[in-house]
Amino acid sequence: MNTLVVERQARAEAVKVTDEELIVELDDGRTISVPLAWFPRLLHGTSKERSNWRLIGDGEGIHWPDLDEDIEVQHLLAGIPSLESPRSLQRWLEARRHERRAKE
């Protein structure tokens, strides 16, 4: 007889971003940390922008509105870094530079 085992997916409960790591506390008691370099938008963000996050999908993901970044918990657990293309990241960085110059 075969038994089907369905695992409930872990969900984020809390998030901390340092200058080197993204640290996510999960609802199953685990804490996962990944290099910030995996997510260039977070890496290039300010401390204020990094701290402005919210959980999405009941904790299935994390959204940073100031950086237009979304990260899925399952990607973190699977070791998948940002899937953004270098071209897209470059356009985003250029737009950021333009915005900053306009504010000065």
In the prediction, which pLDDT does 71 show? 97
The first and second tokens of residue 98, run together, are: 């333009």
Report the distance separating Cα 27 and Cα 13, nearest Å: 6
**Running DSSP on this structure, what letter comes out for residue 57?**
G
The tens digit of pLDDT for each residue in 5-19 reads: 556 789 999 999 999
Domain ranges (residues) in the chain:
12-103
Task: Record the pTM.
Answer: 0.87
CATH number for the segment(s) 12-103: 3.30.2020.40
In the prediction, which pLDDT does 21 show? 97
Local confidence band at 66 (pLDDT 50, 70, 90 cut-offs): very high
